[in-house]
A and B are shown apart, each in its own frame.
Chain A
């Protein structure tokens, strides 16, 4: 059976999709709205604005890849689809960040886990950030709209062994796990969401909102870096872009100047603040690029008696909120427990050590299991997150200091994961730490983890969730944009991505971006068109 590639079929039908790497001269273009970024926020914005009768241009820095290119190989996927080849790091290199950079953004490569914004998070925003209409009730219709649009529903297929171990171990300790909700339609349960869905089952922006917008006449430029906003007074007058080289790493000389009535920033929580910083946008609150959150994530690997084959089957089908729900949200950091897919490059590079020890573990790859603990940062008063700065060449760098509030959560999280893994029958458990050579029992792990020196570059942390940096708030003195994402100073600029969030989410953030952006951009569509906004398909 031949798998269709609906994106390429659309291009063949005449969609306006422009590869900037092939431009041989400068060009100018204009629309009602220019959207920077084609991920979760940019995709939702593009469809709503297009359906509302507005002319839209979407600018994407990364390349266009679609199902015919998705061969489920890490060697191809990381360089093509991820920021900095999946090796993006915080300033001290203490955290490795997995973030998409391609048409569809992170939605093209995420593991499909979908959560409405937790009510406890929304309550905190209402109390602390003057976001009075961020109630679960007010957002419900928007979450339901994106659930319909993106086929988000509970995943009822049997979990793979890697996820089942989480359920088994947790159950033996009296810890509840729940089934994941996923944005898939006709999923083949292959296990390769992270390298781009080869069957178009994942309802990413690449197969949903972007095709809808293109069908309505929108234009997508890819391989084009949004360099700086031109501003006159409190108005954005244009967006200066530069074409990237074919590898997508260095800018070329060809420039594209875009004009529009309104500009929407959806370049992600590192990219959006960086664009405003490069542009010298007004920042009287001094909050631009600050309070960037990552759900700093700990990894605990284990060896099991039976084969796990963690590369096969839905990557994330179960989770536990036990260590979030039973802690005060602003107390010591709680954590969400999930399982990651295990693929050779991701596993081999995450695992500490080298030589015989590393090789011996790799030889048991099919028996390897891993858990993740995602720390809920940004609620405790001492958890202030990171700051986006600019390198000399204008590219962004996130400085995320690792301090005691993180280490405290990290140690508890490592203990919880090891206890669950041994309860599920693990032969050996490894914290991903340079000085850890594994433990044979829960008693040994308990003692070993208590004594592990927790420092940057010793304990390896990862993140796949970047949030904050253009925080919304009711008070312009303490925030960058208002509750609808409208910039407090620049009248025709709206932020529409994860950089809006004033704290982390405490759950995988894609659906929070979808739902909140759907509400905010519908308000924008109405104000620009003078008519009620059209709903998502």
Chain B
């Protein structure tokens, strides 16, 4: 449970964060629109973020070494892009903004707390970021975490290549 003092501190911290994010909203919005959007597997913001975050969300399921790892990175990037492309128009826009926010260095540092570029960030840094968002007092960050959770896990387990590892035989073959 939060104490009142902690709550006030979080409230102020949260407020500052949101103000900063709001100042950056215009450039973010532009990036989000430019890239239109994360639905494209070649979209640079989606690519950089998914390639870094997916292996951490999927730790324990994701191949650790090449060439399996390289192939899996391609599969999950494509899978997340496909999942985004299937969302409603309004959710697509929100997800594009989320990837833009995470891909843009100033907001990545400020809002996600990840100082290194995504391709340099360590597993521990990414885990810390995901847990902070998961438990964040701010709904915006919690929903951001849940979007990443659902997109990455949904895309991974939608793929028949991921089924043998969980003992799922796939749908029956109808003769």
Query: B167 touching A363 by the CB < 8 A rule?
Result: yes
In this complex, the member of A360, A434, A453 whose beta carbon has the largest number of chain B beta carbons within 10 angstroms is: A434
Q: Nearest A residue to B158 by beta-carbon distance?
A: A75
- State which of B58, B87, B158, B171 has its C-beta within 8 Å of the C-beta of A192: B171
Q: How far is the CA of A358 from the CA of B152 in the complex (A)?
A: 12
Given contacts A249-B89, A395-B88, contact A359 B157 (CB under 8 A): no
A456 on interface, CB distance cutoff 8 Å: yes
Tell me which residues across on chain B come within 8 A of A357, comparing CB atoms: 60
User: Which of A104-112, A256-264, A320-328, A347-355 contacts its partner?
Assistant: A347-355
* Interchain CA distance A358-B54 in the complex, whole Å: 13
Q: Which residues of B contact A249 (CB under 8 A)?
A: 86-89, 92
Residue of B nearest to A3 (CB): B174
Contact B168 A344 (CB under 8 A): yes
Docked pose: A189 CA to B132 CA in angstroms: 44
Select which of B90, B150, B159, B165 is within 8 A of A349 by beta carbon: B150
Across the two chains, which residue of chain A brings its CB closest to B131? A354
Collect the chain A residues with CB atoms within 8 Å of residue B154's CB: 345, 348-349
Interface contact B87-A75, CB-CB below 8 Å: no
Indicate if A4 sits at the interface (CB-CB under 8 A).
no
Number of interface residues of A (CB under 8 A): 52
**Please, which residues of chain A bring their CB within 8 A of the CB of B82?**
75
Q: Which of A354, A356, A395, A456 contacts B90 (CB 8 A)?
A: A395
CB 8 Å contact bits of B61-92 with A (1 = contact, 0 = none): 10000000000000000000011011111111
Enumerate chain B residues within 8 angstroms of A363, measured Cβ to Cβ: 165-167
Interface residues of B in 17-43 (CB under 8 A from A): none
Partner of A366, one of B1, B83, B89, B167: B167
A393 interfacial by beta-carbon distance below 8 Å? yes
CB neighbours of B134 from chain A (8 A): 434
| Cβ of B108 under 8 Å from chain A | no
If the complex has contacts A354-B56, A356-B59, are A457 and B171 also in contact, measured as CB distance less than 8 A? no
Residue contact A359 to B88, C-beta cutoff 8 Å? no
Which A385-400 residues sit within 8 Å CB-CB of chain B?
Answer: 391, 393, 395, 397
3 smallest CB-CB distances across A and B, nearest first, come from: A359-B60, A72-B171, A79-B86
A349-B149, A354-B59 are known; give 18 further A-B pairs, CB within 8 A.
A3-B174, A73-B171, A75-B159, A78-B86, A85-B86, A87-B91, A190-B171, A190-B172, A311-B168, A344-B163, A349-B153, A354-B149, A355-B56, A356-B60, A391-B90, A456-B139, A457-B142, A457-B143
